[in-house]
Structure 1
Amino acid sequence: MSKASHQQALYELICRYAQAVDQRDWAVLSRLFTPEATLKGPGFSFDGVSAIVEGMNGLGHYSKTQHHIHNHLAEVDGLQASAETYCVANHIYETEGIERKLDWGIRYRDRFACMDGIWHFTYRELLLDWSQDLPLRGAPHETR
C-alpha cells in the first residue's frame, strides 16, 4: 500500500468516526478503535472500547449532531500513524422550549495502528479551540 493510500484510509477512518457518532451507530464506532484505545477531551477520558462507546452514549441528550471534517494531515510510519484533523461539530438540543445549536471548533490529535491491513484509532484527543451556543432559529418578534 502506498503512502497516499494509507493517508486516504486514515481520512476515511476519521469520516467513519464522524458518521458513526452522528448516526449513534455504536457497533461501527467500536470497530474503529483498538481494544485498549483511549478517547479523551475536555472533562472526559475513556480507556478501552467499552468505555468509549458508553461515554459517547452521552451524546444522546442532543437530538442531532453533525461532525464536519476539514483539514486533515497524517504522517504514516510503517504500521503506525498520527494525524491532526480539524472539525466543526454541531449539536442540536432543546432547553426551556427553545431549540439551540452548540457548535464546537475541534482539533483531533490522533494516533493509529494498522492491524491486518485495517487502520484503527489507538488514541484520540479532542482539543476544543472555540464554542458558540445560539438559538437555532430567531426568537419570535412581538407585534404591537
Structure 2
Amino acid sequence: MKQQLMDRFEIQDLLVRYCHALDRRDWPVFEQLFSEDANLDYTAFGGPRADAKAMAAYLAAATAGLRGTQHTVSTTLIEFDGDDQARARSAAQVMMISGPEAGPDQVLFVGLWYQDRLRRTAQGWRLCERVQERSWMHNLPAVSA
C-alpha cells in the first residue's frame, strides 16, 4: 500500500511536469517524460501520431506563434496493472493567448482528456502512450474548430 501511494505521487508529479514543460517550451524535459518507445496520438486536435521527439518538434512549431499558454491537469484517475504498469485518465484545460504582438489578446480555451499508459523504468515512471480525447473548445478560430 505504501509503495502504491508513492507511485501515485510520482505519476501525478510526472503529469504536472508535462504541463510545465509545455508552458516553458522546454522540449528536452518534455522528451524525458516519455519512455523511449512512447507513442503519442494528438490527432483529436489535428496533430500527429508520433514519438516524443517528433511530437516535441511539432509542438515547438505549433506554439511558436502563441504569446503564452497555460496547461492544467486535474481529476486524474490512476489504475495499476501490476507493480510496473498503470493507466491514467486526466482532465486537462489549455488556455492560449494568440494575436498580433501589438494587437489585442485572443484567449483560446480547450478542454480535453488524456488517456495514458505508464510504465516504471530505471528513471522512474514514464508515459509510454498518450492519447488526446477532445472534450470542448471555446473561442477558437473556425479553421481550428
- For structure 1, which runs of at least 5 residues remain unmatched after alignment? 135-144
Residue correspondence of structure 1 range 1-144 to structure 2 within 5 A: 2-41=3-42, 42=44, 43-57=46-60, 58-77=62-81, 78-94=83-99, 97-116=103-122, 118-133=124-139
For normalisation by structure 2, the TM-score amounts to 0.85
How far apart, in 1, do the equivalents of 2:63 and 2:119 lie? Answer: 26
Alpha-carbon offset, residue 49 of structure 1: 2.3
- Provide the aligned length of Structure 1 versus Structure 2: 134
The question of whether the paired residues in 2 share the 8 Å contact of 1:88 and 1:103 is answered with yes
Alpha-carbon offset, residue 109 of structure 1: 0.4
Give the 4+ runs in structure 1 shifted more than 6 A.
none
For the residue of structure 1 that corresponds to 2:99, the secondary structure is strand
Aligned-residue CA RMSD in angstroms? 1.7
How far apart, in 2, do the equivalents of 1:49 and 1:87 lie? Answer: 19
For normalisation by structure 1, the TM-score amounts to 0.86
The question of whether the paired residues in 2 share the 8 Å contact of 1:38 and 1:52 is answered with no
AA aligned to 2:38 is A
Alpha-carbon offset, residue 39 of structure 1: 1.5
Please say which structure displays the higher CA radius of gyration: 1
How far apart, in 1, do the equivalents of 2:25 and 2:75 lie? Answer: 24
Alpha-carbon offset, residue 44 of structure 1: 2.2
**Cα deviation 1:16-39 (Å, max 9, x = unaligned):** 000000000011001001122122
AA aligned to 1:92 is I
* Identity %, equivalent residues: 26
Alpha-carbon offset, residue 117 of structure 1: 5.3
Counting strand residues as a fraction of each chain, which structure ranks higher? 1
How far apart, in 2, do the equivalents of 1:47 and 1:130 lie? Answer: 23
Distance change in 2, residues 1:112/1:12 (3 Å)? same
